[in-house]
Amino acid sequence: MEKVKLTNGINLLYKKTENNLTSFTIGFEAGANREEKEELGVAHAVEHMVFKGTNTRSEYEINKLCDETFGFCNAMTNYPYVVYYGTTLDEDFEKGFEIYSDILLNPSFKNEGFCEEIEVICAELKEWKDDLYQFCEDSMFYNGFEKRRIKNLIIGTQESVRRITINQIKSFYEKNYTADNCVISVVSSFSLKEILKIVEKYIGNMKAKLVTKNDVKNLENIYENNKPGTYYEYREDLQGAKIKYCFPINNLNKREVSALKLFNLVFGDGTSSILFDEIRTKRGLVYDISSKIKNEIGIKLFTISLGTSNENVEKTIEIINFEIEKVKKLRNFFDEKCLLKLCKSYKLRRMVALEKSIQTSVSLCAYEIMYNDGFELFSEFDEMKNITELEIMDVVNKVLVNATVQVLMAKGESRR
């Protein structure tokens, strides 16, 4: 693996592979975190609009070329970043990279088709609410925070999306889609020299910022304390209930996050975890339960997710709270033998998740954007080996306090 800074400021991450596929990602620190209050949904709308046509290609031509060239391609807007990614045969990498470079360097942003695309986004917003776990999480963010961007969906609201103008699209693009705000990652059997030649040819003329630092949103104060408590929301289309917990982890340093990841393997990640064993296996109260670390910039939360029946909501919450207090008092559990097993397990799960070259490419790009070190994706295990039980327990007692709990259940069901 190698990292190269191009002459225009773009960071290029390269990883050698041994198949005949090339996966690449072009990413920008241009996610929803970069929006102003009056711009909710603009970052995601820009992602849509760059595919509507360039100075030389129509939307149909772009779609046709993508179908012909890519085995898989897509784009995604998150809170901290937006990424454009795809996989081609090695022989078609240059063609695929040229298409995406044209899309990202030369979007036409015409009024024609703009209103129709806004309708597409509004339809996407309605579908988003059909995912009940996602809806429960979104409700938890809305109730648990006052000012953080995650209070509202990445996609925005119906009202904010319909207020977006083509001028807002252009302004956001000009401020954020710049060379010094860009990361490219390539996983390929081509040599780095061959990759550099193609990348420089098509994106080497991307310009750096044309605006001052005052024009770019300051992200220093993007976090706030959550509002502890249990919040209930009711829907008529539910047969069961969803529950989400969140605990902020934005005050943790890098090593503390690694300690939390090791703890999570024991607490809620897997069918032998404490939560799964105590609440599903022994008591049969849920059909699914897990905990997860969301360490993306602007999010940074430890979460618990589960599905249960309406009549078991209060009992399940009571047991989860009991198990949380119980794990805070663990002693002599994370010994050297246990920690080595956890490190190995974490590494295995990470490697399995990165088995596909496209996932490796996207993750390298995202890590570089968020942490200025894409290769931490593979080097994190080395530091984990030295973490102690004391560090883990300090983090557990630091994090697992003052939860925000969101309950989504059937309308008409009473709280017990």
Of the CATH numbers 3.30.830.10, 1.20.140.10, 3.30.200.20, 3.40.50.300, which one belongs to the domain with range 229-334+388-410?
3.30.830.10
> DSSP readout, 77-119?
E-SS-EEEEEEEEGGGHHHHHHHHHHHHH-B---STTHHHHHH
Q: What 8-state DSSP symbol labels residue 375?
A: T
**Which tens digits make up the pLDDT trace of 51-96?**
999 999 999 999 999 999 999 999 999 999 999 999 999 999 999 9
* pLDDT-based confidence at residue 238 (cuts at 50, 70, 90): confident
pLDDT of residue 182 exceeding 60? yes
> DSSP readout, 269-302?
SSTTSHHIIIIIITT--EEEEEEEEE-STTT-EE
With a CB cutoff of 8 Å and minimum separation 6, the contacts of 338 are none
Give strand pairing partners of 299: none
Q: What percent of the chain has pLDDT over 90?
A: 83
**Which tens digits make up the pLDDT trace of 337-382?**
999 999 999 999 999 999 999 999 999 999 999 999 999 889 888 8
**Which tens digits make up the pLDDT trace of 295-323?**
999 999 999 999 999 999 999 999 999 99
Q: How many residues does the chain have?
A: 416
With a CB cutoff of 8 Å and minimum separation 6, the contacts of 272 are none
Under 8 Å between Cβ of 199 and 186: yes
Answer yes or no: same fold for 2-212 and 229-334+388-410. yes
pLDDT of residue 416 exceeding 70? no
Name the superfamily (CATH) of residues 2-212: Metalloenzyme, LuxS/M16 peptidase-like (3.30.830.10)
Under 8 Å between Cβ of 292 and 353: no
Mean pLDDT (the chain, rounded): 93
Residue 381 is which amino acid? Answer: F
- The pTM assigned to this predicted structure is 0.93
Average of per-residue pLDDT across 268-273 = 94
Residue spans of the domains in the chain: they are 2-212, 229-334+388-410
Q: What percent of the chain has pLDDT over 70?
A: 96
Q: Which residue has the higher pLDDT, 40 or 209?
A: 40
**Which tens digits make up the pLDDT trace of 81-139?**
999 999 999 999 999 999 999 999 999 999 988 999 999 999 998 888 888 889 999 99
pLDDT at residue 217, as a whole number:
63
pLDDT of residue 214 exceeding 60? no
Average of per-residue pLDDT across 162-189 = 96
Q: Would you call 126 exposed, middle or buried from its count of C-beta atoms within 10 A (0-12, 13-18, 19+)?
A: exposed
